Amino acid sequence: MPTRTFLNRIGRAEESLKAQSLFSVDCICFPEKERPSFGFPIEMEIAGKVKCPLHGERFKPLFHIYVPKWLRERSMEHLERFHSEQYRKAWFAGFPPNLWPAEEEESEEGRIFLKLKNGTRLLAYEPDGTRRTRCNNTL
């Protein structure tokens, strides 16, 4: 079978599986119909750095929409109750349970840090609207 024909057949098979929402065991992409939601832009950056071994990019990043604290606090409950198994697999690929969910810490200056379970602190928000992706290890 010529290579081009074989590649076309693989492409059609992948499109068919995608339409049926079937994913390979090795795929850690977010489902197209379940876009990921992040509490802070830094979380989108972290998730974007994790690549699917089969497809590369796992989702198409969009602009960040503000998420209130009460909703961020319920994110794990929402993850368990309202998302598919593939979504959870994709989420935990970027945010492993041994480190996440992070605990929010607010400084006197109004900065918000995400403290991971291993003690790593990530700057998530600064009151002037800027955010740095620098990590402050406090082990």
**Could you tell me if 109 and 127 are in contact, meaning their C-beta atoms sit under 8 angstroms apart?**
yes
pLDDT at 139 over 50: no
* Residue 64 three-state SS: coil
* Residue 120 three-state SS: strand
94-124 pLDDT, tens digit each: 999 999 999 999 999 999 999 999 999 999 9
18 vs 40, higher pLDDT: 40
**Could you tell me if 43 and 123 are in contact, meaning their C-beta atoms sit under 8 angstroms apart?**
no
Listed by start position, the domains of the chain span: 22-137
For 129: left if phi > 0, alpha if psi spans -120 to 50, otherwise beta; the answer is left
At 85, the amino acid letter reads E
pTM for the full model?
0.76
Phi, psi of 89 (to 5 degrees): -60, -45
Q: State what percent of residues in the chain have pLDDT above 70.
A: 85
Average pLDDT of span 52-74: 93
